Structure 1
Amino acid sequence: MFRLWGKIVKKNNITQNYVFEMMKKDMVFEELLAKGIEDLCNRFDIGNPMWLSDNEIDMKRINKTRFKSQHFIEEIDFDYFEIEYLAERV
């Protein structure tokens, strides 16, 4: 099971959050991640952020990353959108 926790944060408060879940079919991690981000953005009614090198580094190191205003084309009314990969417990 692939699980991605998305949070919208404004003034140090989580204003929205949701855990995207999907069965791991024949998709690689990057495809599941892109699908999860798209679903979370639709659920939160925000535009899809741009994936930059800092996001790649954060995901590889700590399994989470933040999208701030520079990641979005349009203006945002929150401080950041954070995603965290929730690894399966064995």
Structure 2
Amino acid sequence: MFRLWAKIIDAGKIVKNMTIENSDSSLNRTKKIFHAIDEACYAYDLSKPLWLDKNISEFKKSSKTRFTKDNFVDEIDFDYLEIEVIEED
């Protein structure tokens, strides 16, 4: 089972959070990650964040990254969206 935790943080507090699960063994890790981000953004009514070099580097090291206002085309009313892989197949 693959699980990703998506959290919206504002003023140092978790405002919204959800866990997205995916048990589709035909998808690779990258597709599962992007699918989970799509689900979280849909649930939170957000545009999809842009992956900057900083995000790619952080995610490769720790399976966790933060998307700030620089990652979104639209304005956001929170400090950042954080994603973290909490379980992998």
**TM-score clears 0.5:** yes
How far off its partner does 1:22 sit? Answer: 0.8
How many residue pairs get aligned? The number is 89
Tell me by how many angstroms 1:28 deviates.
Answer: 1.0
Identity of aligned residues (%): 37
SS in 1 for 2:87: coil
Give the root-mean-square deviation of aligned CA atoms: 1.3
Please report the TM-score for the alignment, with normalisation by the length of structure 2. Answer: 0.94
Deviates more, 1:40-49 or 1:64-73: 40-49
**TM-score for both structures, normalised by structure 1:** 0.93
Find out whether 1:18 has 2:18 as its counterpart: yes
Deviations 1:13-47 (A, max 9, x none): 10000000010321111111100000011111111
Q: Which runs of 5+ in 1 are unaligned?
A: none
Judge which range, 72-81 or 44-53, deviates more: 44-53
- Stretches (4+) displaced over 6 A: none
Write the deviation string for residues 31-74 of structure 1: whole angstroms up to 9, x where unpaired.
Answer: 11100000011111111100111111111111100000000001
